[in-house]
Amino acid sequence: ARGFIFGTPIALEIGAKFVPLRKPNKLPGKVISEEYELEYGRDCLEMHLGAVEPGERALVVDDLIATGGTLCAAMKLL
């Protein structure tokens, strides 16, 4: 969730909406999910259903990139 620290002000600066991607059961309402590989197992990301419409552009901001699994899952959700 530390990515929120960077993502929110960047979205405001470029005039974009902020769409959080979270671990399971952290977002209210209907979500879509994507599993991804970790060095030591599997995890999952969720995003609000319909948060990003087809054809919209997205900027993914994360606070850490180790294996790239989170980034790959984010791209599939978008």
Residue 46 annotated to the active site: no
Domain boundaries, the chain: 3-77
Indicate whether 59 pLDDT > 80: yes
Q: What is the pLDDT of residue 68?
A: 87
Query: Which candidate, 64, 60, 73, 55, places its Cα nearest to that of 19?
Result: 60
CATH (residue range 3-77): 3.40.50.2020
CA distance 14 to 17: 9
Q: What is the pLDDT of residue 39?
A: 82
- What is the percentage of the chain residues whose pLDDT exceeds 90? 58
Catalytic residue among 39, 42, 53, 57, which? 39
Residue 35 annotated to the active site: no
Q: Which residue has the higher pLDDT, 11 or 66?
A: 11
CA distance 78 to 65: 18
